[in-house]
Structure 1
Amino acid sequence: MRLSISLADFTWPDSPDGIGVRVDRIVRAADQAGLDSVFVMDHLFQIGSNGPPEHDMLEAYAALGYIAGRTERIRLGALVTAVSYRDPGLLVKSVTTLDVLSGGRAWLGIGAAWNADESAGLGLFFPPTSQRYERLEETLRIARQMWEGSEKPFHGKHYTLTRPLNVPNSLTRPHPPIMIGGQGERKTLRLVAQYADACNLFGPSVDIVAAKLAVLRGHCEAVARPYDEIEKTMVAYFYPDKSVAEQVDSFGRFAEVGIEHIVLGRPGPFVVEDFEKLAELVLAVR
C-alpha cells in the first residue's frame, strides 16, 4: 500500500506570514519520509469540515508549482481539480507544465466540483450538476487527446478547441496519471472506468468502500476495461496521537477490500513533527 498526504489546512499560528516557510518544511519532510504524493485541495475558501471559509486557503496550481520546486521525488497533484474552474486546454497545459518542471511527477486529479458558495463568492463559472458532468467527460477526452499529441480540432457540446497543441508534452508517458475523485455510482465511477488511471473514494466505512469498488468493477466490465488497471485510492485521517499499529490496522481493513493507496489528511494543519511517525507508517504498510 502507498501513503500520501493532502495539505488542506494552512491556518497555522503564524499565518499568513509563516505559510511559505511551513509548507516548504512540510513538503521536504514528506519527500524524505517516503510518501508517494502530496496533494492540495482545489478550493479557494476553506471547506466546512476543516474550518470556517475565512481560514487560509491557497490556489492549487500555484501551490503545486511552489511545492515542485521544494521537492525532489514526491508526486504532485490536486485532490481534485474542480472541472468548472479552468477551461480544459488551460488545465492540460497547467498539468503538463507541472509535469515537465517537476521531472515527471504530476497527477491530473479532477472531479465535477461542488462548492457553489466559493464559486459565487469569487464570480466563478459554476453550471448545473448535469452540465458539470458533461464538461468533466469532455475535459477527460481533451486531456487524453492533447497528451497523445493530436492537434485535431475538438468540437464538443461545451468546448471547442481549434488546435489543441500541447508543446512541450508531458514527460510522463503516455500521460500524467488521471485520478477522478468522487464515488457517484451512475456517473463518476463510470467515467473512472472509461478514462481514469485511479479513483479516489472517501468512505467512510469499509462496507461503503467495498460497495463502491463493486460498482466500479461492474462499470469496468461494461466497457471491457481491466479492473486491475485502475489504482484504488481513498482519503483517510492521520491521527498523530494514535500508534502506528492502530493506524496500520485501520488501513489494513481497507486494503482487504481493494484499496491500494491512502491519502492522509489530518485534524488541523500538518506540522513537521508529524513526519517521523508518517515515515514509520510508510515502512509499516509496504
Structure 2
Amino acid sequence: MRPFRFLAAVADDEEFADLIPLARKAEAMGYSSFVLSDHLMSYAPLLPLAQVATVTEQLRVGTFVLNNNLRHPAVLAQELATLDQLSGGRLDIGIGAGWNKPEYDAIGIPFESVGVRIKQLTEAIAILKGCFAEGPFSFAGEHYTITDFDSLPLPVQRPHPPFFLGGGGKRFLTLAAREAQVIGLAPRLITVNGKPVSDPRTITAAATEEKLGWIREAAGDRFAEIEFNTYPVTGPIVVTNEPRVEAQRRIDRVRDRTGFELTIDELLESPHTYIGSPKDLIAKFLELRERFGISSFLIDDLDAMAPVVEALAGQ
C-alpha cells in the first residue's frame, strides 16, 4: 500500500502574510504538500508557491487546482517548469477543466459545455507534456495549435512533475486514468438556485466504488501506479467525540441546500467526510486505504488533524 500523504490546504481568504508561517508549520507537522487553489477572487497560486518553496526544504508545493481555461498551456508550461526549477523538483501539477461559471462570466470567457472543457483540458495536458519534453514539438488540435515549439526551461522532475486530476464524472475520470499520477475522487456538481454545489449522492462509499471502476477500466495496466486523493466536501473537518450528532447537523444542512438526504452511516462512511475523534479518524483513514486505495488527503484544519497526521504521515 502507498504511504499516507497529507496536503495542507489554505483558505481563499487567508491573509497573505500568514502563508509562509503556515507552510513552515505544515512542514514541521509532517504534511507532504502545501497547495493553493486557483480562483480570480484570491491569490494567483504560482507566485506564492515559489515563495513557499524558498522557505521550506522537503515540503512539496502544488495547485488544487489550476483552471485550464485561464491560461494558454504553453505559457503555463513555462511557469510550471520555472516553479519546478525554483523548488528543486517539488512541484505537483493539479489542473482541471474549470467549473465556476461566474468567474468566466465576469471576464468574458465562454463557459463551454463540460464535454468541450474536458476536450480543451485533454489538449492542454498533451501540450504541457510536449513542452516538458526535450526538443521542439508540434500539436494540431481543435482548440490549440503548436508549431515547432521548443519550450524552456525544462522541469527538474522527468519526464514531468506529477499531474493531479480530480473529478466525479466518468468522462473526466477516464481522462485522469490515462494521464494523471494522482487522481482526486471528487463529487459531481449539480446546480441549485443557479449555483454549482456538490451532489451528496456522489460522495458515498458506493459512488466511490463506481468511480474507481471507471478508472480501473480506463487505466488498464497503469491502475496500480495511481495515487488516490479525497478532500472534505459536505463541510470542514470536525474533531468531536460525538460524530453522529455532528453528522446529523450536517445532513440537515445538506438536505436544506440540495433537497437530498443521506443517512448518518452514509455520511460518516463517505471518503469525503471527516468527523470524529482523532482515534476515529485514524481508523477511518486506515479503512479508506484498505478498501479503496486512498492514501492522500486534503486537510483544511492543520491543528485539529495534528494527532492524525503525526500517527499516519509516511506510514
Matched, 1:184 2:184: no
Q: Relative to 1, partners in 2 of residues 1:279 and 1:249: Cα closer, same or farther, differing over 3 Å? A: closer
Q: Relative to 1, partners in 2 of residues 1:275 and 1:212: Cα closer, same or farther, differing over 3 Å? A: closer
Structure with the greater alpha carbon radius of gyration: 2
Q: Relative to 1, partners in 2 of residues 1:238 and 1:10: Cα closer, same or farther, differing over 3 Å? A: same
Structure 1 stretches of 4+ moved >6 Å: none
1:1-286 superposed matches below 5 A: 1-11=3-13, 19-45=15-41, 57-124=42-109, 126-185=111-170, 187-202=171-186, 204-221=203-220, 225-236=221-232, 238-241=237-240, 242-266=276-300, 270=301, 273-274=303-304, 276-277=306-307, 279-283=309-313, 286=315
2:210 alignment partner AA = A
- Assess if the C-alpha contact under 8 Å between 1:2 and 1:35 holds in 2: no
Q: How far, CA to CA, are the matches of 1:21 and 1:240 in structure 2?
A: 27
Q: How far, CA to CA, are the matches of 2:59 and 2:287 in structure 1?
A: 26
- Assess if the C-alpha contact under 8 Å between 1:42 and 1:60 holds in 2: yes
Q: How many residues align?
A: 260
Give per-residue Cα distances to partners, 1:186-238, cap 9 Å, x unaligned: x11211222111211135232222221111101123xxx42101111221354
Q: Relative to 1, partners in 2 of residues 1:232 and 1:10: Cα closer, same or farther, differing over 3 Å? A: closer
Give per-residue Cα distances to partners, 1:227-285, cap 9 Å, x unaligned: 1011112213543555321211221232122333333233xxx56x45743542444x7
Question: Residue 261 of structure 1: SS of its match in structure 2?
Answer: strand
Question: Residue 161 of structure 1: SS of its match in structure 2?
Answer: strand
1:33 alignment partner AA = M
Instruction: With the length of structure 2 as denominator, give the TM-score of the two structures.
Output: 0.75
The residue aligned with 1:52 is: none
Shift of 1:5: 2.6
Shift of 1:129: 2.4
Shift of 1:96: 0.8
Structure 1: which 5+ residue stretches go unaligned?
Answer: 13-18, 46-56
- Assess if the C-alpha contact under 8 Å between 2:60 and 2:91 holds in 1: yes
What do you get for the CA RMSD once the two structures are aligned? 2.2
- Assess if the C-alpha contact under 8 Å between 1:233 and 1:262 holds in 2: yes
Q: Relative to 1, partners in 2 of residues 1:234 and 1:118: Cα closer, same or farther, differing over 3 Å? A: same
Give per-residue Cα distances to partners, 1:136-182, cap 9 Å, x unaligned: 11011112222222412221111112233222211011110011111
Q: How far, CA to CA, are the matches of 1:69 and 1:240 in structure 2?
A: 33
Q: Relative to 1, partners in 2 of residues 1:239 and 1:70: Cα closer, same or farther, differing over 3 Å? A: farther
Q: How far, CA to CA, are the matches of 1:121 and 1:35 in structure 2?
A: 35
